[in-house]
Structure formats: C-alpha cells, structure tokens
Structure 1
C-alpha cells in the first residue's frame, strides 16, 4: 500500500439530521491533494462550509448498515489495474498495490444526477446487488467506484454456445427479480436492466451491478420492457436486444417457461412474476458449474495493462 494516506470524506455528521448532507460539489472542491494529509484535515476544520440542503440527502440508516466510504485522492495510489473486461459493460480489474486482498472491479461514475447516484451507491445493500466497496474522488474531480469482483455477466452467457437449463434460468431470473423488488421498495426504478449489467459469480450468486442508473423518477414500463428483453436474450440467442420481443423457437421451452416470458411483456407486478410456477424450478446450486462453462466458451474482450503504473479508465 502506498505510504500516502487516504482521507475518508462524507463525515457522518451528515447523519445527525434526516435531511442534511454535505453536497458532492463541495466535497469535490476540497479534494485537491494537500502537501500533507494533516493540512487537508486542518483546512476542513477551519473552513467548514455552511450546512446546506442536498437534493439527495443521506437518510438516517439502521446502525448495522455501513455506508460505502468516499475517499479523497486517486485510486491508483493504492490499486494497480491488471486488465479491462468488456462483457457489454466495461470494468477495470484491479489488485491492491500492497499485495494484500483480492481483485476488485473499478469503473468511473459520471452524469448530471451525480448526487443521486452517489447516495444510492452509498446506502443500498442487498444480496442481489453487487457490493460496492469504496468511492474515490480524485484531484481532477473524477469519480471512481470500486466493487466486489464478479467473473461473468449474463452477456457472456448469451455469447456462449450453451443455453441455461430451466432450473438455471429460473434461479437467474428469481435473483434478478429479488434485486429489482428491493430497489422498488426504496422508490428506485432500473429502466436499463440488461444482460450486460447483471453479473454472476462462482457461488451461483446473480447481482445487478449498476444501481447508480436507477432513478426515483424512472418509468416502470421501461423496467418491464428491459427485463423482458433480457429474458428474451437468455431464451433465444438469435434475437437481437433491439428486435421485437418474442421467441423464434418457443417449442424449446416448457409451457411454464414460455408463460413466464409472456407475463414479462404484460405484467409490471414483480410479485406476480416471483410467485409464478416457473420459479419453483429454481436451483442455485446448478448455477455453480455454469459459470466455468461460460468462462471457457464465451467470447471475452480483454485488454491487458502492460504498463507498470495504473492508468485512468
């Protein structure tokens, strides 16, 4: 690990009131690298900005919920990028420079609603949402998100010659819907759900990776359309994601599977989909051997980093 100390921002006095927080713009402006870490802390104490209301405050959370820390400085002082993996969504794969710890994923965060994105990332945690570890704000005000490593996406499954069995498909869809339901209970709609942003690991866990793209103003109709297109790609590799929703060979699937697919095009009710008979076939254990098979047979676009220093994504 570099000797340069990391300084965690978003001090938790923002939690002292339900509707107060330090705006991201103020934090980013204070992220210029000081000559010494203690100088930075002193400046924050002496010139603390007036408390202002943020459009997206950090809500009061249960004590057991740990906020994802926001850290001032470059992630490349502490991590080394090994390669970039492109499976529809692009991630850098990194390892700690001190050799301690496992590999993680890193990507940049940007957009006009950056406040809302960061607050969602910091607060939301669920077994079917990719675990976020740290957020870095560099001196040039670039935002980097470090997350747990997940080896494949559902896009890789689409690029592999094999299809999921019905117990595997049921387990994949059940876990995705559990993640979607969790987001909806927090007033967030994921309009752009796809095979590219749903990831899998060697334990058979299926997780949504980009909750920063969720919005409280999202349209459920767009969520339903994106989910039905994701299901279509998993059940029919011949179909393009932009094609008319449907299956070219429905006879390859059971009546229950086809009925569930049809429901995804008409029903926005997640609970109805979770309670469908097809979900009784789910078997997470059967996903464990699917991931290695995908890794061996799917097309992967990998860019190796041959430099000795980590570089921006």
Structure 2
C-alpha cells in the first residue's frame, strides 16, 4: 500500500471516529481545547498578575520566639469604602437620620452633606479597615478620622456612637449623610494594639498594666450600661501618641444577656497573651511560654490566668496588677517603637 493510500485510509477512519463522537448518544461529550492549551502556558503570565494599590510598609522586627509558634495572624482587612462615587441606590433611612434630633445621651446630629465639604482628606490609614485621616478646612486644627459605614448599619452606628461615651472609648465628633453614604467623624487615634504586638519591643509589666487599666475601665463602663462590645481584639483597641488607650468601633456593641459567658473578658485574655508574647497558642489555650520574661508568680501571669475565669470586667479590674495609678506616659516609648518598626498600611490617594 502506497503512503498516500495509507494516509487516506487513516484519515477516513479518523473522520468516522469523529462522527461517532458527535452522534446523539455522545452529544454531551466535549473536548475543551482552550482548557488544554491553557495548561500548556506558563503558570504565571506577566499580564495576568494583579498589581495591588501602592502600599508602603516597614519590616517587622523578628521575634526571638520559636518560628513554629502560631504568630498573631494577619487580620482580614476591609476594603476601602468607595463612597465618593455616585450610586443609584436611594437611602430613605439616611433622610430620617439627618432629620433626627440628638437624644439625651448624645450631642451628635447627622448633617445632610458630604464630610468633604467640611474636612480635607490627608491620608487613608488602615485601622481595622481604612479610615480617612482629615483636617477641618476652615481652621487647620488637629486631625480627625472619618470612617464610612454600610448603609444598613447607619441607624445603629449613630445611636451607639452617641450613647457609648467614656474616656476610654473613642469619641464621635460629627456625622454626615449623603444620598448614598453615611460617615462618622472620630477623634484621631493613629495606632492600634496590632502595631504594639507587631513591633520589635515587648511591653514591661508597667506598660502592660497601663494598657489593661484603660481597656478595663472602658469595659466596666459598658457593663454598667448593660452592653458588651462582642468583637474585642487588638485591632479594636486604639492608642494616641500620648498613651491614651481606647476601645473603638462601638457600633459593634449590643445588649448583654444574663448568665452569658463574658465574651469581652475572655477576649481580653487573648489580647493580653498577644501583648505578652506576640503570638497565640496553637491549641487555643491562654498562657505564656517564656517564663524568663514573665515569671509564673508575676502579677501579669496571674492576671492572664484570671481572664479565663473572671465573671466580669469589674471583677478583673480589682486584680493586683492594676492597683496602681494609670500612668499612661509610660507607654510613649513603646508607642514610638511601634511607630518606627511595625508594619502599617496606608494609601496616599486621599
């Protein structure tokens, strides 16, 4: 058989096979050539790599603890709310909010205008989700933090920021509504405990006490009000450069239930452990492993132990570790180290 005739026979057989595959009994069979060819391409193509927005960060100092420990996990970051763009959504709730009178517990009334008519953007800073650091246009006074909130949370957010007022809870200064957005203007607190945990220095027992005293004073207030935060973690505890420590995001607060496990107290145990050793235990236990830094009979360790059993923040506030005057000034050096060495995320697009 000549080569031409052999090729012809082979082609005929192949054509018959194709017709068989395309028959009614095989109509669902599909060969994905695009998929097959894609598998032959390099795993990464230069044009397929997404380039994130330009963010600047500094390296975190290495901790001397074992690398096998569970380091404090990177918390999920909320995307920046794009509230400057128009939307077709009409928000009837925001109209009611802007027309409401302030209650007895608050002097905040939501103004029906954009905050950017009053404030000038300076920087977008990641503090458990991006906030916009801004200054008032009329007079260049101190900085404020402008946070945008989901529309569905507008009413509760305004109410809780008005009701929950204490020296150790972030103060709400103003509120704004537009056709599509809701904003709260807050006092500017540029750091969170995330940066303290990530920084290259460990707190001393006095510094740890100065942090915990202020957190617990805020929690005791919430208990008296019949509230609990419910979402307490390092990212929700913020600091000023002068050493003020405050609970943030009071829109998370809700009515506490009787005979319920004190979630904020248990959360404070995790926060304390992260501050003391910069990582959490793999098995979820509360404790520290470096007994040279934190001796087992130290007030810090016994306090940490009591966070697992205390029935209230008020009970925990009586611990020996906290029976000193709050000297927030002892925190300024630690905060400076965090400012220099901890990773920060920000955007200059504001």
TM range (shorter): 0.7 to 0.9
Q: 1:284: which partner in 2?
A: 328
Assess if the C-alpha contact under 8 Å between 2:243 and 2:328 holds in 1: yes
1:128-181 deviation digits (Å, cap 9, x = unpaired)? 0111111111121x1111111112111110110101111110010010000011
Question: Residue by residue, what CA displacement relative to the aligned partner does 1:219-274 show, whole Å, maximum 9, x if unpaired?
Answer: 54322222111111111113279944332324421421101001111113212211
1:28 aligns with 2:110: no
> Counterparts of 1:190-205 in structure 2 under 5 Å?
190-205=229-244
Task: Tell me how far 1:290 sits from its aligned partner.
Answer: 2.3
Matched-pair contact (CA < 8 Å) for 1:133–1:146: yes
User: Mean Cα displacement is larger for which, 118-127 or 281-290?
Assistant: 281-290
Per the alignment, in what secondary structure is the counterpart of residue 289 of structure 1?
helix
- 1:132–1:145 Cα contact (<8 Å) kept: yes
Shift, 1:112, TM fit:
4.7
Aligned runs of 1:1-313 on 2, under 5 Å?
Answer: 28-29=94-95, 60-61=104-105, 66-110=106-150, 112=152, 114-140=154-180, 142-217=181-256, 220-239=261-280, 243-254=284-295, 255-281=298-324, 283-305=327-349
d(CA) in 2 for partners of 1:201 and 1:29? Answer: 34
Structure 1 gap segments, 5+ residues each: 1-24, 33-43, 45-50, 52-56
Per mean C-alpha deviation after superposition, the further-off stretch among 255-264 and 236-245 is: 236-245
Decide which moves more: 191-200 or 88-97. 88-97
Structure 2: 5+ residue stretches without partners: 1-90
Question: Aligned residues, how many?
Answer: 255
Task: Please give the alpha-carbon distance, in whole angstroms, between the structure 1 residues aligned to 2:282 and 2:245.
Answer: 20
8 A Cα contact 1:108 1:143, kept in partner: yes
Counterpart contact for 1:84–1:91, Cα < 8 Å? yes
Structure-2-length-normalised TM-score: 0.66
Separation in structure 2 between the aligned mates of residue 113 and residue 278 of structure 1, nearest angstrom: 38
Q: Which structure: larger Rg?
A: 2
Provide Cα deviations, 1:99-131, integer angstroms capped at 9, x if missing partner: 532211111123755433321112332110111
CA contact (8 A) 2:228 2:253 kept: yes
RMSD of Structure 2 on Structure 1 (CA):
2.7
SS of 1:252's equivalent in the other structure is coil
TM-score, with normalisation over the residues of structure 1?
A: 0.73
Alpha-carbon distance between aligned partners in 1 of 2:97 and 2:274, rounded to the nearest angstrom: 43
- Sort the Cα spacing of 1:112 and 1:247 in 2 relative to 1 into closer, same or farther, 3 A: farther
In 2, Cα distance between equivalents of 1:191 and 1:80: 33
- Displacement of 1:28 in angstroms is 1.6
